[in-house]
Chain A
Amino acid sequence: MADFKALPKLPKGEGWIWCTCGALIFILLLITLLLGVVVDNAARTFWANEIVLYELDNGQKAVGEVTKDDVSPVTKSKRYQLKIGNRDLYGQDFRWFDEEAIKTKSFPENAVVFERKEHGNFYGFFKQLKHSSQFTLVSGSIEDQFHTLYKQSKKAYKEVESLDELIGDLSNKDRKIVLKMKELDYKGKATPETIEPLLAKQQELKDQFNQSQDKRIQIENKLLENIAVMEDANGRQHEISLIHIVRFYQPNKMSVLDKSKLYVSKIYELLFDNPRESNTEGGLFPAIFGTICVIFLMSITSFPFGVIAAIYLREYAKDGIMVRLVRIAVNNLAGIPSIVYGIFGLGFFVYGMGSSIDGLFFSERLPEPTFGTGGVLWASLTLGLLTVPVVIVSTEEALGAIPQALRENSLALGATKFQTLIKVLLPMASPGIMTGFILSMARAAGEVAPLMITGVVKLAPSLPIDGEFPFIHLDRKFMHLGFHIYDVGFQSPNVEAAKPMVYVTTLLLLTVVVTMCSVAILFRNKMLKKYKTSAI
């Protein structure tokens, strides 16, 4: 200590520097923590957890996955939350067990998890198999028998799925004929000559529809006879039809490799499949598709306008008080709350333009609105308005960063203003403009509030782009990743069971946005380096 005292006194206020550093570290820790929570929860969602069997003091038994453990506020002892599934049997997905009440814990090898189309997961054990006459059982253990039977029934179910598609197609066609007749009726051209063939066609469709429907029911009924008789922890028997099972596994038997395979298959389902069970299970494909659609449509509306406005402001408009004011105003528009744009979109696009379009072109369908209700077009246009200021600001900045000398050189060499713009300025500014594009796309990807009131829905029956003529349906409602988070996390009947799905969606959305932003930032940094060298 002695030699420290001999040293010179510290400069004043060093402590404050530590405080400033502390603030920064606090923010970074907060971000890391939140990010960690998302990644941790999302990553765990698809991992096949071990299934535990609790034997309680009162003789009851329970199987399920341990989801949480904490200290009970009542008994002050440790307790475990088990996902017991079997919603159709117990009415709830989760249950708490006090450590003290548990007599034994074990991990039975033969425990099975069924992911079902309805009622969530089933946890239990095989008891017996019942099968229809169309399939035969192989000899072997009940698991092997189940395997083969399940494969067969899944294969046979494909026919039902293709029939479903056909039925959907037929009802679409029928709807079109109804619309056509309405249109004829509305225009006063509804004569027997025009109506008769349509009616005949409608009848034909109806016949086909009924036939397919009958066939579908027949096949399905046959398949429904394939039943796995299961047993829950307490030996209660429960019959589950094989076609209602989406996936099954026995986690206590699986190796890490098997579990990884399952993990990958679940991620595949997430990205490319439709949601199940009011969005709390299954895939996100429609939401991902909807998000991409909206971003794409927004880009093609907002980018050209934004860039032209910026070029006008920077290169063509005479610099003066007006331009300065406009610049400030445009800068500010970037900071206007998105909900304000949303309500504008609702009032102006949906109820204003949409209703007029309906009145002009789709009056035969009224009062059922076509464009007079929220849809992918209006949502994209609203987002477009929201992002135009961002594009203008970044494009202006990029153009402004180009040294004046370059413009003068080009003009001095005889190029016109337009040629200068096309050949010199735009190529140089392109990285900056691209950055603006990407940033605005990232912003659009994350915006939910304006979409909520201009056409996003929790479950859209069909995609905005599909194989049905005219292929792009701008009037359709759509699903969106961001809204999916809000809806599933806050509006679903069973929030606790839906949470894992929300975490996964969150991670997906975060990944998209962060990737876009990182790319934009890399772009910009590259551009900055380029200018630094060219300025010398």
Chain B
Amino acid sequence: MDKKLLTKIKRNDKLAHWGITAGGMFTIVCMLTILILIASTALPLFESPEINIVNSIDMDRSQGNIIASGLDDYIETGYVVYSSGLVHFYHLNSGALLKSLQFPQVNNIKYLQPITNHQYSIITEANKMGIASIKFSTEFDNDGKRSIVHNVAFDELEFDSTVIAKEIDIKMDEYQSIGAALLDADNKIHVLKQVKTENLFGDETVETYSSQLSDESLDSVITAFCIDDTTTHLYLGSDDGKIIVYRIEIEDEEAILTLKTTEQVNAENKPITSLAMVLGSVSVAVGDATGQLSTWFFARGDQGEKFVKAHILERHATDISKIVPFRRNKSLLSLNKNGQLHIDHMTSERHLLSLTEGAISIFGCSNRGDGLVTINENSQLDVWKLKMNHPEISWDVLFGKVWYEGHAQPEYVWQSSSGSDDYEAKFSVVPLILGTFKGTFYAMIFSVPLAIFSAIYVSQFAGNALKSWIKPIMEIMAAVPSVVVGFLIALWLAPLLKEWIVSFFVMFFVGIIILVLFITIWSVVERKPVIRRFWKGREGLIMIPLMILGIYLSAPLGIWAENILFNGDFEKWIYETVDLRYDQRNAIIIAFGLGIAVIPVIFSIAEDALSSVPKTLTAASLALGASRWQTVRNIVLLSASPGIFASVILGFARAVGETMIVLMATGNTPLMSWSPFNGMRTLSANIAVEIPEAPVGGTLYRILFLCAVLLFLLTFVLNTGAELIRQSLRKKYGRF
């Protein structure tokens, strides 16, 4: 033979060998890395927060005491406020002093309390009160270079000048109405509300209402106080560990304070040292002298509102001197007397970070929540970069009960987003997992008996002609797009079922009665061998009219039953008696929809398993005198049981992952209910519903990837289990 040709063939063979090996391995590795890639997107959810020091700058001590500090969103420039009312701006990287500004009309600040990150309510030595604010405005020049312009401002709050204020808390709502609570030299609390209204012509009018707490209504000394952003509640902390809540209402040109509730914070009756509103102004954070940091809110229960201690955060070593909320999420910065700083997230109760070195006295953080400045006892300013991407997520939030703001008790809730920033996102995946299993459970109840019974009939009793038809039909049924099934059951079946729900239940009874009746009659008729021989394998010819008859009978029977049993309206009846709302798109509908998707899967595999039981076994059983059914029940089903089990698992896995049917026909409400008359939201539908609105890299985005990981693992484990069972079966019988 031609040598050249031979070498060429050999070379080709080698090339093909390597090519196919490389290509094959590449494909397989690609497929297997899918899980890793999905998981790697979800994993940052559980990253622990990081804090890194950027720079340390020594402050000028000659200007007096530093009473506040803060920094801009780019962690580029920062400021310190001296008690003289002087503000120094620093370049944080170089430590250079950029600018020095004085708050107008402010000489010496007696008291300062943060409102938001760069706004403070202050009292001056001259008894002036008001809001001192530091403004960072970002400007871009022609080349697109960024520069930050600094400014300071002071807005005075007019109040009765005879009152000598000691401490003050000022809040603003989104309409620029101002509310303030102040403690005077006699330890009396005053409340002030300024409502700004604008008439049609754009003229502003300011109306001021004020009120004073009478002495007799308070029997303890006030140690801390705060008001909420909308000036509707006044929270007071007492020296014996009580939190007292007043409701502020404006009636007839006057602010009226009414006592709402009093709750004991700690058992030791230790004083409350600090109070602050958490972002969103629903919860109040309470720090006391035992070092306990807790958050409280009004829970709406059946018996009206109740003021509850919902979250207890990481305990401090000693008195908590200051609590400052984050402006980005529901995290809290808290400082204790020893100068240790904690960062905790309220909802997840996660202790994010502690800064324990260097006795911090003053701190401030950026609006984005990623920069922090602290000033320690040596007047040294430290600049920190924070990395806390998903503080609201913890294992407990995802899989446990969480007490959300305003809810009556801790619950599993999924409610991912809303319009506003201060919304408490609810990320419990438990309702989704429950929804997934609920849908699957009802689908399995519906489809497993049907599919396995059909498989038994087709494999054991049906004639060959029928067999050769049924199998392709089932295969085609398996290929029917789920969007088609979803559309049909949601828009055609669901309204129909709503109308005929009782008839639907009656149908089962009618079916059983008809079947039993028929079988009793038939057992007599069938004794004639001729008849029996003819109908063997042709049972369907009788069953079709019988079934149709059953369905026709149950329609009027259902109406009759509804009239008698449920006063003519089933939906009203279940609502009144068992307090269940009937949803049009409910679990029964899903049972049908998923059933249609799952039946062919279960049927095909179960049928394979059943027909691969060796004929010798059945023949032996029949020869020993067992009837057809006895053989099937005792021999065939038993031998094929691993295969049937595998088929059920595979069907289950298919139902778990089905997306379009549940997306279209469940209503997608994440409920925690097993009721067959309600909808649900499954993991898969959740992904499809939420992903278009999830910003890339955000918490929701990563949680959805986590949902995908859960789905992947669930189906992978189920499928592998089924596959292993099938392989063992294959070994046992050595065929199929």
Contacts and interface: CB of A to CB of B under 8 A. Distances in A.
Contacts of B461: 17, 20-21
Interface string A97-119: 00000000000000000000000
A338 interface: yes
28 contacts: A10-B527, A14-B522, A15-B523, A17-B461, A17-B539, A21-B461, A23-B449, A24-B540, A31-B596, A34-B596, A312-B24, A312-B28, A337-B684, A337-B715, A339-B687, A339-B711, A343-B687, A347-B705, A416-B9, A443-B479, A448-B482, A482-B484, A482-B660, A486-B487, A506-B487, A513-B480, A517-B475, A518-B472
Interface string A368-391: 000000000000000001001100
Interface string B264-298: 00000000000000000000000000000000000
A129 interface: no
Interface of B: 9-10, 12-13, 16-17, 19-21, 23-28, 30-32, 34, 37-38, 41, 449-451, 453-454, 456-458, 461-462, 470, 472-473, 475-477, 479-488, 490-492, 511, 515, 518-519, 522-529, 539-540, 543-544, 546-548, 596, 599, 603, 627-630, 633, 650, 653-654, 656-660, 663-664, 684, 687-688, 691-692, 696, 704-705, 708, 711-712, 715-716, 719-720, 723-724
Contacts of A7: 527-529
A421 to B, nearest CB: 7
Nearest to B595: A30
Contacts of B470: 24
Contact of B13 (A24, A419, A446): A419
A448 B522 contact: no
B27 A309 contact: yes
- Chain A CB count within 10 A is highest, among B16, B488, B596, for B488
Given A14-B523, A330-B28, A336-B34, 19 more contacts: A1-B524, A11-B629, A14-B519, A14-B628, A16-B629, A18-B519, A18-B543, A24-B454, A24-B458, A308-B23, A317-B21, A337-B715, A388-B27, A416-B9, A416-B13, A482-B484, A486-B486, A514-B476, A517-B479
A23 B472 CA distance: 18
A435 B656 CA distance: 27
B723 A513 contact: no
B454 A13 contact: no
Interface in A289-345: 305-306, 308-313, 315-317, 326, 328-333, 335-344
A23 B633 contact: no
Given A14-B629, A30-B596, A502-B491, A485 B472 contact: no
A8 B456 CA distance: 26
Contacts of B656: 337
A19 B31 contact: no
Contacts of B515: 15, 18-19, 22
Contacts of A331: 719, 723
Contacts of A346: 691
Interface of A: 1, 4, 7-31, 34, 37-38, 305-306, 308-313, 315-317, 326, 328-333, 335-344, 346-348, 351, 385, 388-389, 392, 416-419, 421, 439, 442-443, 445-449, 452-453, 482-483, 485-486, 489-490, 495, 499, 502, 506, 509-510, 513-514, 516-518, 521
Contact of B712 (A12, A336, A416, A502): A336
Contacts of A489: 487, 490-491, 664
Contacts of A443: 479
B37 A348 contact: yes
Contacts, number: 306
Contact of B24 (A18, A308, A341): A308
A476 to B, nearest CB: 18
B481 A482 contact: yes
A332 B719 contact: yes
A111 B700 CA distance: 56
Closest 4 pairs (CB-CB, A-B): A312-B24, A337-B657, A13-B629, A446-B481
Contacts of A448: 481-483, 660
B628 A417 contact: no
Contacts of B457: 17, 20-21, 23-24
A27 B599 contact: yes
Contacts of B691: 343, 346, 453
B348 to A, nearest CB: 24
**B9, B484, B526 — which one has the most chain A CB atoms within 10 A of its CB?**
B484
Contacts of A335: 650, 653-654, 657, 715, 719
Contact of B454 (A20, A313, A452): A20
A12 B627 contact: yes
Contacts of B484: 38, 446, 482, 485, 506, 509-510
A26 B546 CA distance: 11
Given A20-B453, A489-B491, A339 B708 contact: yes
Contacts of A312: 20-21, 23-25, 28
Given A13-B633, A443-B479, A514-B479, A449 B688 contact: yes
B709 to A, nearest CB: 8
Contacts of B524: 1, 4
A58 B390 CA distance: 66
